[in-house]
Chains A and B, each alone.
Chain A
């Protein structure tokens, strides 16, 4: 009897040990990437690096101003397209849980989430680049917006589903019409969840390269015209890291570091938002 109990205790210990070991193992790759990229990249980053264009091969120095600005413009544009669509769709899904449209729309959003980014890039290429005859930042933004959409939709839906019905009833009982119930009560109460979904979706698309390859295309010069090709951080990293020049490798490391800092910052902001703006129900 006691032998059997000891055996079971032993098994339990081993199992506990395994869970701890493997949770530590999960952290290792992230730490490794962080340390490696920060080591290689942090020394390259300075004001000059952030505000100057890349230099031609052979000249040392140069920066990533064009890629940084390009990334900001492309992502801002993608957000402007995806966020209203995503939030409105999320509201519909949470308000009409059982309708046919909600079923199909939810299914499509789930499938969209699984579509490889390169395929979304091709679609944007055929929709926008081919008809207009030019690579453009706008087409890149559309591709990224499609990638953002499922994340925004599902996070909005799930946040709103968590709000109690009594809240909505309180609003209806005061004679509020549907749009005011949504805009003045439901959205403000779910704002932290929705915003964190938006932040995570932005973090998600920041590093996307594949959809930009044949849409935004890249541009060695500073450009703010959204109808023309534009550089972005992931494209710059892709092009410069695969080049044979050491100076360009340095730029790629620095840009990787910036990208990493960007994504980390977004994740931290998300955590802060959920903590700060959470409405106590």
Chain B
């Protein structure tokens, strides 16, 4: 049996008076890849950012309801603990421009003031970079700045940075929308690898990507979770007419 790792209960998110995410209830099983899709402005990114409490960093943003991580409500926890357990990768690659590739990977330790012995750090860096299939490309230039890499490499560096913290869940906010097709397919291959150790929640605009990469898919429309189920089922035989319209391209 799969166990649930993240569970949203009546989750609502607002920007001021604007109700963006409406009454979402969802259960996300461990070591699965979940695709969250929907048209622009449907609240999928806001929902994602609610999971690790990045949502509330925006002035005027509030949230109601519960998001349970291993049955603990993240809205009751200190955001710092939440974000240590739930890593995040953003739409645009954002390595720290002032740090080397090496330091970017262990940024979560280094910048948080966690002191580690050199050997340990080396191990984390190599391990994380290997996981994101970047080690062979950058092992000779670890001291160079992160911004020296190409866009796709930078994005994988950002994934490595999140992986290095050994979180339980990884959130991806349209992780390939700023990448070229080759980098995109490299990142998509990573999803299959990463899923063995983490639970992945991926917001995507790209239906093919959702179909290719995910075990389950959630479809958001106008702030509501319209349908949630096995990806295959969803794409071949959607239950809701709105899902069907979206998948067949009636609106986007």
Contact = CB atoms under 8 A, between A and B. Distances in A.
Interface of A: 98, 164, 166-167, 169-177, 180, 184-185, 188-189, 279-281
Sorting the interface of chain B by its residue count into under 10, 10 to 19, 20 to 34 or 35 or more gives 20 to 34
B17 to A, nearest CB: 17
A258 B146 CA distance: 43
B165 to A, nearest CB: 7
Contacts, number: 72
A189 B52 contact: no
A275 to B, nearest CB: 16
A176 B112 contact: yes
30 contacts: A98-B59, A166-B90, A167-B94, A170-B90, A170-B158, A171-B96, A171-B111, A172-B57, A172-B83, A173-B83, A173-B87, A173-B162, A174-B84, A174-B111, A175-B112, A175-B165, A176-B80, A176-B108, A176-B111, A176-B112, A177-B80, A180-B111, A180-B112, A185-B98, A188-B98, A189-B96, A279-B97, A280-B145, A281-B97, A281-B147
Contacts of A280: 97, 145, 147
B97 A184 contact: no
B169 interface: no
Contacts of B147: 280-281
A175 B97 contact: no
A114 to B, nearest CB: 30
Nearest to B93: A166
B92 interface: yes
A177 B81 CA distance: 10
B92 A174 contact: no
B156 interface: no
Contacts of B84: 174-175
A169 B80 CA distance: 13
Contacts of A188: 98
B121 to A, nearest CB: 15
A172 B54 contact: yes
B161 interface: yes
Contacts of A169: 54, 57, 90, 94
A211 B94 CA distance: 46
B35 interface: no
A167 B154 CA distance: 13
Contacts of A172: 54, 57, 83
A184 B111 contact: yes
Contact of B96 (A98, A170, A175, A180): A170
Most B CB within 10 A of own CB, among A174, A279, A280: A174
